[in-house]
C-alpha cells in the first residue's frame, strides 16, 4: 500500500505556477487577478477561503475577497459578478459554495462569464467537459487527475467508481475519467448494492461527504482509493468509530482530528491511497491557482486575437 502524497504533488505544481506568474509579469506586465465571493459565515467555507487567499498571495496572484452576510440576495451577488465580469484586471471569479439558503446557486453561477469561471461550474464549461473539449476543469477532479498522473496511474480501461454526484466533484469527475477512457459508475446515496459495485472497482473516488462511509469490506484488494472527504472529528465516540488509535494523543491534545469518507482500515487493502489530510485537499486549492493563471493567459491571447 503506497501513499499518494498530494501535498508533495501540490508543492511541485505550485512552483511551476509561481514561475509562470513571474513570466507573465515580466514579459506581459500582467498580474493574474482572482475575485473570491463568499456569503454567510460557514466555518468550513471561511477556512477554505482563507487558505485560497494565502496561497494566491504566496504565488503572486492578486486576490480580492468580497464578503456578504447570510441574508444577501442572488441579485446582489449577481451585481458584484457583473462588475468583475467587466473588470479587465479580474481574470477569475469564484463563488464559494455552498451559498446560504434560499439562494439558488444556479442563479448565481449562470451570471459568471464562462471565460472567468475559475471553478468550471458554469453550464457552458460543464457542457464542454461532457463533450470532451473542456478548457477549464473543476479544481478537485482536476487535482485528482494530476495526482494519478504524477504516480503514473493511468485510468484508461480501469473500472472506476465515483461515489457522490455533486456538480463540484462527482459529476465532472465521472466525465473526466470517462474522457480518460475509464469505465465509470457514478454512484450516490440511492445506489442499490453499492458495496458489491465498489468491490469491482480498481479506482474509487469517494466524494459523498460521510465520514468513514467506505469500509474495508467494500474494497477490492489492490484498488486505488482517492478520498475527497474532509471531516473534523470532535467527539470521542466518533473518534473510536472512524480513527486509528495511533491518533488518540493528537486528538486529545488538539480536541479534533480530520478524517475522510474512506474508513482508515480500508487503506491497508489498497495498492495506493490518498491520505486525509494531505491528499486531495492541497491539490484543490493549487488547481484553483492553476486555473486562475490559465484564464489570465486565455484573456491575453483573446485580446491579442482581437488586435
Ligand atoms: N466549496 C467546496 N469546494 C469548493 C470549490 O472547489 N469551489 C467553490 N467555489 N466552492 C467550494
Task: Output the pTM of the full model.
Answer: 0.97
Atom number in ligand 1 closest to CA 121: 9
Same fold, 28-115 and 139-281: yes
pLDDT under 70: residue ranges of the chain = none
Q: Which of 150, 270, 154, 285 is nearest to 206 (CA)?
A: 270
Ligand 1 atom closest to the CA of 94, numbered from 1: 9
Q: What integer pLDDT is reported at residue 106 of this predicted model?
A: 97
Mark whether 52 is an active-site residue.
yes
| Among protein residues, the one whose CA lies closest to atom 3 of ligand 1 | 97
Report the separation in Å between the CA atom of 166 and the middle of ligand 1, taken as the mean of its atom positions: 11
What is the third-level CATH fold of 139-281? Rossmann fold (3.40.50)
Instruction: Using the atom order of ligand 1, give the atom closest to the CA of residue 288.
Output: 6
Which grid coordinates are listed for 179?
Answer: 474522457
Q: Indicate if 305 belongs to the active site.
A: no
Give the CATH class of 28-115. alpha beta
What is the pLDDT at residue 304? 87
Grid cell of 92 as nine digits: 477569475
Question: What integer pLDDT is reported at residue 59 of this predicted model?
Answer: 98
Long-range contacts of 300-306 (CB under 8 A, 24+ apart): 300/24, 300/28, 300/30, 302/115
CA-based nearest residue to 291, from 108, 142, 113: 142
Q: What is the pLDDT of residue 306?
A: 80
Give the closest residue (by CA) to ligand 1 atom 11. Answer: 97
- Which pLDDT value is given to residue 296? 98
Task: Give the per-residue pLDDT at 255.
Answer: 95
- Among the listed residues 14, 116, 117, 119, the single catalytic one is 119
Domain ranges of the chain: 28-115, 139-281
Q: Is 291 in the pocket of ligand 1 (CB under 6 A)?
A: no
Amino acid at each position: 500500500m503506497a501513499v499518494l502524497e498530494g501535498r508533495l504533488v501540490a508543492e511541485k505544481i505550485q512552483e511551476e505556477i509561481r514561475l509562470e506568474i513571474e513570466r507573465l509579469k515580466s514579459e506581459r506586465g500582467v498580474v493574474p487577478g482572482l475575485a473570491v465571493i463568499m456569503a454567510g459565515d460557514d466555518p468550513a467555507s471561511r477556512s477554505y477561503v482563507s487558505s485560497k487567499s494565502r496561497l494566491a498571495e504566496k504565488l503572486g496572484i492578486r486576490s480580492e475577497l468580497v464578503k456578504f452576510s447570510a441574508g444577501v440576495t442572488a441579485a446582489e451577488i449577481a451585481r458584484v459578478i457583473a462588475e468583475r465580469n467587466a473588470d479587465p484586471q479580474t481574470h477569475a471569479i469564484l463563488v464559494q459554495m455552498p451559498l446560504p439558503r434560499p439562494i439558488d446557486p444556479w442563479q448565481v453561477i449562470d451570471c459568471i462569464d464562462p471565460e472567468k469561471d475559475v471553478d468550471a461550474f458554469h453550464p457552458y464549461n460543464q457542457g464542454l467537459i461532457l463533450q470532451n473539449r473542456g478548457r477549464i476543469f473543476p479544481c478537485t477532479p482536476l487535482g485528482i487527475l494530476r495526482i494519478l498522473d504524477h504516480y503514473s496511474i493511468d485510468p484508461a480501461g480501469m473500472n472506476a467508481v465515483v461515489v457522490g454526484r455533486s456538480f463540484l466533484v462527482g459529476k465532472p469527475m465521472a466525465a473526466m475519467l470517462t474522457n480518460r477512457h475509464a469505465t465509470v459508475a457514478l454512484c450516490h446515496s440511492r445506489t442499490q448494492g453499492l458495496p458489491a459495485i465498489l468491490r469491482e472497482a480498481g479506482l474509487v473516488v469517494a466524494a459523498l461527504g460521510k465520514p468513514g462511509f467506505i469500509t474495508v469490506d467494500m474494497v477490492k484488494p489492490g484498488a486505488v482509493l482517492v478520498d475527497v472527504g474532509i471531516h473534523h472529528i470532535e467527539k470521542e465516540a466518533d473518534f473510536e468509530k472512524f480513527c486509528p488509535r495511533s491518533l488518540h494523543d493528537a486528538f486529545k491534545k488538539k480536541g479534533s482530528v480530520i478524517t475522510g469518507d474512506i474508513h482508515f482500515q480500508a487503506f491497508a487493502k489498497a495498492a495506493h491511497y490518498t491520505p486525509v489530510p494531505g491528499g486531495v485537499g492541497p491539490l484543490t486549492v493549487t488547481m484553483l491557482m492553476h486555473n486562475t493563471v490559465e484564464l489570465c493567459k486565455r484573456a491575453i491571447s483573446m485580446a491579442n486575437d482581437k488586435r
